[in-house]
Amino acid sequence: MSVHVPQTGKMGTDFDTILKKYKQGKREDLIPMLQEIQELTGYLSEEAIVKVGSYLGLSTTKIYGLATFYDRFRFFPAGKIQIQVCNGTSCYLNGSQSIINKIKEETGVQSGYTTRDGNFSYEIVSCMGGCNNGPLICMNGEYHIHVKASQLPELLKKLKYIIEND
């Protein structure tokens, strides 16, 4: 099984290009700005939030307050392999809970967090739209259908091997 491992490490990126796009710098630009930064760097670093704050004239606590309200924002780098587990009603009825438990057990982290070695992060999403193929997981954009909990340990081990030997 192959998996696409993205090139991470766009650290120290110049956020100015993103900031400059929003010339007027209004409050309503805050969320799109944060989304763009996250898309570029993978997460919202402290540096990014401070910069956005000074650009928009907002205190960093306000920005944190807003960003933590929404669950799509991340404050630490995502894993090299990002796993999305569908927990829509259909997948739930087909047993997605056991998949989630297994991934939790294998990675040892909660949903939305990254493992200490930086290899995996996973999140639970509400519906990916493949209801007849559940339980469904998506790894870096590649879908795996009719997943069984028993397949997961081996799959994750294999992926870990691929990452570490690349």
Partner 1 sequence: MEDIKTFLVNKVLLFESDTLPPETEKKLQQVRREKPDNPVIYISSGTSSMIAGSEKTCAAIKEHIDENGLAADFVKVGCTGPSNFEPLVCIHLPGKNKLFFRNITEEKVEPLLNGVFHNDLSEEDIAGQTGTKGFELWPGIPFMDELPFFINQKRIILGNCGCYDPESIEEYIARGGYRAYAKAIRHYTFEEVCDIVERSGLRGRSGGGYLTGLKWKHALNTSANARYLICNAKESDPGAFTDRTILESDPHRLLEGIAIASYAIGAANAIIFMRSGSDHAKNRLQNAIDRAREYGLFGHNIFSSGYNLDIVIRIEPGAFVCGEETALINTLEGKRGMPRLKPPYPTSSGLFGKPTVINNVETLMNVPVIMQNGPEWFRTIGTENSPGTKVFAIAGKGRMSGVIEVEMGTPVRKIIDGIADGIREGKEFKAVQLGGASGSFLTKENLDIKIDYEALREKGIGMGAGGFVIIDENTCMVDLVRYYMEFIRNESCGKCIPCREGTGRMLEILDSVIRKPQNEESGTTLERFKGVMQLETIASVMRDASLCGLGQTAPNPFISALSNFRDEFEEHIFDRKCQANICRGLRSFSIDVDKCTGCTACAAKCPVNAIYGTRLQPFFIVEEKCIGCGVCYDICKFSAINVK
Cβ distance to partner 1 smaller for residue 117 or 151: 151
CB of 107 to partner 1, least distance (A): 18
144 and 130 Cβ atoms separated by less than 8 Å: no
- Least Cβ distance, residue 60 to partner 1 (angstroms): 15
Applying CB under 8 A, which residues contact partner 1?
Answer: 26-32, 34-35, 65-67, 69-73, 84, 87-90, 92-93, 125-133, 136, 143, 145, 149-150
In the numeric block, which tokens belong to residue 63? 């920005």
For partner 1, give the closer residue by CB, 75 or 92: 92
Nearer to partner 1, 31 or 162 (CB): 31
Least distance from C-beta 165 to partner 1, angstroms? 26
Nearer to partner 1 by Cβ, of 13 and 133: the residue is: 133
- Other CB atoms within a 10 A radius of the CB of residue 131 amount to 15
Provide the minimum distance between the beta carbon of 117 and partner 1 in the complex, in angstroms, as a whole number.
Answer: 25
Q: Which residues, at least 6 apart from 81, have a Cβ–Cβ distance to it below 8 Å?
A: 3, 5, 119, 120, 121, 139, 140, 159, 163
| Pick from 112, 108, 99: nearest CA to 155 | 99
134: left (phi over 0), alpha (psi -120 to 50) or beta: beta
